[in-house]
């Protein structure tokens, strides 16, 4: 008997369904207790599946047809009504009606967020769901950064809730028993920043069970200073992409420095062979998968141009979250925080 079922939106993403099917093949052998529902256009998927007898003959894989595909440039607001039979929508519906415990999609982020919000609905008491992703730290641990773009503007209460939800996720997924929660700001001093972060700091300080450590700066995203780093979606999106840009610049320059000189090329090749292993923890593939936190079900967003290995990581993250029933854990924690607030108000 299997324990979990994961729905995969096979049609989303820039790379097409091939990488989803390849990732599924790997997941099938890695997670022998998990069932999968592959959602997408049967006519497109069948020829690909025919190349993978391990999948097409497995009793643990179901193919569910969906006639429509959400394009990467579809407008999120329009797609909800215009494409009722999209593979993305069908995958979310499977989670909503209990047929699946989580879903994974590499499709249009805006559309996924809008559709997930309407289909699964937020956990009672949650103001806004947040997009969260893990960041590698200098000490080898992982931190969580949220929000990454689901909410361009956030008030203090929303930021405080992000801290609570992130704290639950750090405990459940990263196994950090007492996660350090911080607010991202332009300085560590209490006086720094805008009014919203200052108010959010007061709220987080007053939240029982949250280990709020204060403000952190941009360079603390990777310093290991905090386990959960909270900001609005505008700031989080720009900060994360700025880091991607910096990494690209360094990589581009490294390549430029090496090319054109035979000796350097050979040395670099030898050096990188050694690096390949020790840089494994920095491999972006394993960090693929941003969770939509605060909904009644597990929704995992894979990068639009994820490789099969990266998509596999997103599946693995979805399984992790489903296996600890993360939405239920967040529900309990938010309920607890709200009850504490009510009791505080009564005592005042």
Q: With contact defined as beta carbons under 8 Å apart, do 300 and 289 qualify?
A: yes
**Does the bond joining 147 to the residue before it have cis omega, within 30 degrees of 0?**
yes
Residue list 82-111, contact with its own copies (CB under 8 A) = none
Member of 186, 206, 339, 342 binding its own copies (CB under 8 A): 186
Please state, in angstroms and rounded to a whole number, the distance separating the CA atoms of residues 112 and 300. Answer: 10
Question: Does residue 134 interact with its own copies by CB under 8 A?
Answer: no
Secondary structure class of 29 (helix, strand, coil): helix
Find where tokens 């005592």 sit. 347
- Torsion, Cα 241 88 103 44, to 10 degrees, reads -100
Please state, in angstroms and rounded to a whole number, the distance separating the CA atoms of residues 6 and 311. Answer: 13
Member of 82, 271, 339, 342 binding its own copies (CB under 8 A): 271
**Interacting stretch for its own copies, rule CB under 8 A, among 30-38, 52-60, 189-197, 285-293?**
189-197
**Interacting stretch for its own copies, rule CB under 8 A, among 40-48, 92-100, 242-250, 320-328?**
242-250
Member of 14, 85, 248, 335 binding its own copies (CB under 8 A): 248
Question: Does residue 308 interact with its own copies by CB under 8 A?
Answer: no
Nearer to its own copies, 68 or 237 (CB): 237
Please state, in angstroms and rounded to a whole number, the distance separating the CA atoms of residues 335 and 348. Answer: 20
Question: Does residue 279 interact with its own copies by CB under 8 A?
Answer: yes
**Interacting stretch for its own copies, rule CB under 8 A, among 36-44, 121-129, 190-198, 305-313?**
190-198
Strands 290-293 and 298-301, bridge-based pairing: antiparallel
Question: Does residue 214 interact with its own copies by CB under 8 A?
Answer: no
Nearer to its own copies, 239 or 338 (CB): 239
* Number of residues binding to its own copies, judged by CB under 8 A: 56
Write out the H or E segment, with its range, that includes residue 328.
Answer: helix 326-347
The string of DSSP codes covering 231-264 is --HHHHHHHHHHHHHHHHHHHHHHHHHHTT-HHH
- Torsion, Cα 261 265 267 269, to 10 degrees, reads 180
Question: Does residue 288 interact with its own copies by CB under 8 A?
Answer: no
The 10 Å Cβ neighbour count of residue 93 is 19
Member of 3, 187, 305, 335 binding its own copies (CB under 8 A): 187
Q: With contact defined as beta carbons under 8 Å apart, do 38 and 20 qualify?
A: yes
Nearer to its own copies, 65 or 198 (CB): 198
Nearer to its own copies, 171 or 185 (CB): 185
Question: Does residue 305 interact with its own copies by CB under 8 A?
Answer: no
The 10 Å Cβ neighbour count of residue 278 is 8
Write down the least CB distance from residue 141 to its own copies, Å: 12
Q: With contact defined as beta carbons under 8 Å apart, do 153 and 234 qualify?
A: yes
- Nearest CA to 292 out of 95, 64, 26 is that of 95
Question: Does residue 122 interact with its own copies by CB under 8 A?
Answer: no
Write down the least CB distance from residue 109 to its own copies, Å: 9
Question: Does residue 243 interact with its own copies by CB under 8 A?
Answer: yes
Member of 30, 42, 194, 343 binding its own copies (CB under 8 A): 194
Question: Does residue 262 interact with its own copies by CB under 8 A?
Answer: no
Write out the H or E segment, with its range, that includes residue 76.
Answer: helix 76-82
Member of 17, 136, 166, 297 binding its own copies (CB under 8 A): 136
Q: Which residues bind its own copies (CB under 8 A)?
A: 136-138, 149, 152-153, 184-187, 192-194, 217-223, 231, 233-235, 237-250, 252-253, 256-258, 261, 263-264, 267-268, 270-271, 274-275, 278-279, 281-282
């Amino acid at each position: 008997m299997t324990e979990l079922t994961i729905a995969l939106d096979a049609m989303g993403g820039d790379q097409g369904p091939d990488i989803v099917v390849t990732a599924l093949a790997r997941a099938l052998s890695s997670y022998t207790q998990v069932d999968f529902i592959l959602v997408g256009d049967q006519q497109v998927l069948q020829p690909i599946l025919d190349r993978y007898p391990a999948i097409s003959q497995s009793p643990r894989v179901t193919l569910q047809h969906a006639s429509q595909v959400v394009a990467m440039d579809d407008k999120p607001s329009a797609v909800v009504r215009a494409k009722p039979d999209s593979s993305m929508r069908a995958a979310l519906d499977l989670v909503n009606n209990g047929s699946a415990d989580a879903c994974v999609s590499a499709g249009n982020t805006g559309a996924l967020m809008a559709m997930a919000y309407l289909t699964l609905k937020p956990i009672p008491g949650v103001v806004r769901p947040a997009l969260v992703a893990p960041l590698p730290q200098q000490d080898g641990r992982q931190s969580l950064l949220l929000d990454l773009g689901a909410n361009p503007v956030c008030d203090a209460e929303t930021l405080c809730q992000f801290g609570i939800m992130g704290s639950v996720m750090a405990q459940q997924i990263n196994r950090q028993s007492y996660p350090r929660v911080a607010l991202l700001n332009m300085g560590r001093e209490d006086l720094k920043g805008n009014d919203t972060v200052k108010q959010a700091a007061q709220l987080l300080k007053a939240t029982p069970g949250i280990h709020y450590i204060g403000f952190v700066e941009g360079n603390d995203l990777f310093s290991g200073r905090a386990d959960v780093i909270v900001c609005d979606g505008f700031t989080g999106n720009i900060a994360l992409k700025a880091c991607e840009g910096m990494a690209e610049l360094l990589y581009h320059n490294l390549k430029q420095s090496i090319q054109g000189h035979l000796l350097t090329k050979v040395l670099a090749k030898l050096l990188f062979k050694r690096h390949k292993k020790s840089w494994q923890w920095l491999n972006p593939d394993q960090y693929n998968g941003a969770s939509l936190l605060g909904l009644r079900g597990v929704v995992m967003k894979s990068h639009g141009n994820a490789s099969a290995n990266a998509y596999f990581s997103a599946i693995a993250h979805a399984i992790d979250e489903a296996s600890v029933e993360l939405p239920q854990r967040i529900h309990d924690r938010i309920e607890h925080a709200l009850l504490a607030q009510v009791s505080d108000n009564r005592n005042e």
